[in-house]
Amino acid sequence: MADILEFPKPEPLWRDVLGEKLRAARTGRGETLTETAERAGISPQYLSEIERGRKEPSSEMIAAVAGALGTSLSELAGDVARELSGATLLAA
């Protein structure tokens, strides 16, 4: 009987985890894409692409969205890093 090859689970991408965190923060506040995007000074379409992990936003853009959601760039980056760190441990 042939051996089954197991491939390691790929690590999640920074932009995917960032998007998940931003979406969770926005929906947790009961806000629409339009409301949050307007306060951040970006289009709802761009915010949607960030949340879906389709865009790699600049640190300035991340800071603007974080501020619109009542958090900071450093707090958001820490949350993303902790999730990535945990995912890396699980993948190993």
Task: Return the C-alpha torsion angle 54, 60, 65, 69, nearest 10.
Answer: 140
Torsional sign, CA 42, 16, 85, 26 = positive
What is the longest distance spanned by two Cα atoms in the chain? 60
Domain count, the chain: 1
Q: pTM of this prediction?
A: 0.84
CATH of the domain at 39: 1.10.260.40
Which pLDDT does position 86 carry in this prediction?
Answer: 86
The first and second tokens of residue 37, run together, are 């995007």
* CA pair distance 55, 76, nearest whole angstrom: 17
The model's pLDDT over 27-78, given as tens digits with 9 standing for 90+, comes to 999 999 999 999 999 999 999 999 999 999 999 999 999 999 999 999 999 9
For residue 2, is it within any domain?
A: no
For residue 26, is it within any domain?
A: yes
For residue 5, is it within any domain?
A: no
For residue 65, give its domain range: 14-91
Torsional sign, CA 40, 43, 49, 54 = negative
Which pLDDT does position 88 carry in this prediction?
Answer: 55
For residue 32, is it within any domain?
A: yes
Which pLDDT does position 6 carry in this prediction?
Answer: 75
